Copies of this chain bind each other. A is one copy, B any other.
Amino acid sequence: MATTTASESSAAPALKVAILGFGTVGSAVARILCDLPAGAPIRLSHVFNRNVERKRVDWAPADVCWSSEFDSVLSSDADIIVELIGGMAPAHDYVTRALSAGKSVVTANKKLIAAHGPQLSELARKNGAALCFGASVAGGVPVIDALQDGLAGDRLYRVSGILNGTCNYILTKLESEGVTFAEALTGAQAAGFAEADPTDDVDGFDARAKLVILTRIGLKAIVPPEEVPCTSIRGVQAVDFLYAHELGATIRQISRSERKQSEVFASVQPALVPIESPMAHITGSLNLVLSSGRYGGQTAFSGHGAGGHSTAVAVVSDVVAIARGRAKAQAPHANAVSLPVSGNFESKHYIRFTVNDRPGIVAAIANVLATHSINIDALLQKPGFDREALPFVVTLEACPSALLEAAMADLRKLDFMVQPPVTMPILTKEL
């Protein structure tokens, strides 16, 4: 077995690592730390959790301090605080106090970093501490490092990806098994890929937090998370995959952002992607990040985005970066500037209507679209569906999504609709 570089021998005493939150990821981090060979430059010193007694494990060294008092961890000699509690409170408070006390922080908390990353980075800098959050996006895929350092010589103008494994799992189930959204969701919950309340995942908020972080690191643009439009995948049905396949495409939840001059386009939404694109090859709960640079073209990163072990690898890699003295040189938000954001990408679109069939429907739809100066590209109708709830698809030539949204407001009012129409952009392979 290869020896991790975390074990590189060092004359300095090992840095002491405190873990806040001893759930799946926390215990996986502790496992890796406890598996390190003697002489490693980092070691587990503290575990903090509410009611910590029920969390104790027999495989941790006897000198690890188990605590339910954050203040006692804060006042201890721990050098690095690993925050794995998640969410805003009390994580925000704990991270703020740790950095203020000059302790370095490693976190997997995408929500916290998306909302407060720049301020927390600045707080770290002022206090001579490091703040690392490689685990906050795409779990075990080291994409933050790659955008920050590995592609520092390029000028990135676009980042995109499949950032939520739950959505990808559900969508690939709809595709491969033809089940309903509700069935796919229940399956994902049973398989441990979705929470009891799936809102954050399926409605795009989880992916949005990650996209905001990637936008900041890759495109050097700070955008408020709440201003990035999210479209839920709840409207997508198995029939959409039939039509997508006919168009040489499949459907994925795509997060993307693009920097132009002084504005950013960003969105999280289900979209048609060409069957030969890297996006289409990502199945199950895998994650993918694509970056496009002015000089180097497109680079792709993929792997396990979630799960205790993958996320733990990212956390420990950040701890190692701090121990190696590399993390403070990173300045993760250096030079990022606040920019206005909208979801108004220009692209081709797919609309699936479900109608109570009668003569004149296509004419009515075409008229509305013409009024908004939107051109129809093609009309697809698969046989074998009930005339009272007939799904058919219109594809549109490229237009800004805001223009389509205005047209959709009119289309939704037409009296033959038996379900709200579903719109998705049709992306190109380059995305």
Contacts and interface: CB of A to CB of B under 8 A. Distances in A.
Interface of A: 1-9, 28, 32, 134, 139-146, 148-157, 218-221, 259, 261, 278, 281, 293-304, 309-310, 312-321, 324-326, 329-331, 334-335
Contacts of A4: 152-155
A272 to B, nearest CB: 19
> Closest 5 A-B residue pairs measured CB to CB?
A142-B150, A153-B316, A299-B303, A296-B313, A153-B317
Contacts of A218: 2
A303 B295 contact: no
A326 B330 contact: yes
A158 to B, nearest CB: 9
A8 B220 CA distance: 11
- Interface majority SS (helix, strand, loop, mixed), chain A: mixed
Q: Pick from A218, A221, A299 the residue with the most CB of B within 10 Å.
A: A299
A151 B317 contact: yes
Q: How many copies does the complex hold?
A: 2
Of listed A3, A150, A221, A315, residue having the most chain B CB within 10 A: A150
Contacts of A304: 296-299
Nearest to A142: B150
B153 A314 contact: yes
Given A2-B221, A220-B3, A153 B313 contact: yes
Contact of A150 (B3, B134, B221, B296): B134
A159 to B, nearest CB: 10
Contacts of A157: 1-2
A384 B153 CA distance: 54
Contacts of A261: 1
Contacts of A330: 324, 326
Which of A134, A146, A330 gathers the greatest number of chain B CB atoms within 10 Å? Answer: A146
B155 A146 contact: no
A239 B412 CA distance: 55
Nearest to A335: B8
A31 B320 CA distance: 35
Contacts of A316: 152-154
Contact of A152 (B1, B144, B298, B321): B321
A8 B326 CA distance: 17
Nearest to A146: B142
B2 A313 contact: no
Contacts of A314: 150, 153, 296
B259 A299 contact: no
A80 to B, nearest CB: 13
Contacts of A8: 331, 334-335
A334 B41 CA distance: 13
Contact of A6 (B153, B221, B259, B324): B153
A297 B310 contact: yes
Nearest to A334: B8
Given A141-B299, A297-B309, 19 more contacts: A2-B155, A2-B221, A4-B152, A6-B152, A8-B331, A140-B297, A142-B149, A145-B149, A149-B149, A151-B313, A153-B316, A293-B313, A295-B312, A296-B303, A296-B309, A297-B310, A299-B303, A301-B301, A324-B330
A150 to B, nearest CB: 2
B150 A146 contact: yes
A316 B28 CA distance: 36
Contact of A140 (B139, B296, B302): B296
A325 B329 CA distance: 6
A292 B333 CA distance: 30
A234 B4 CA distance: 38
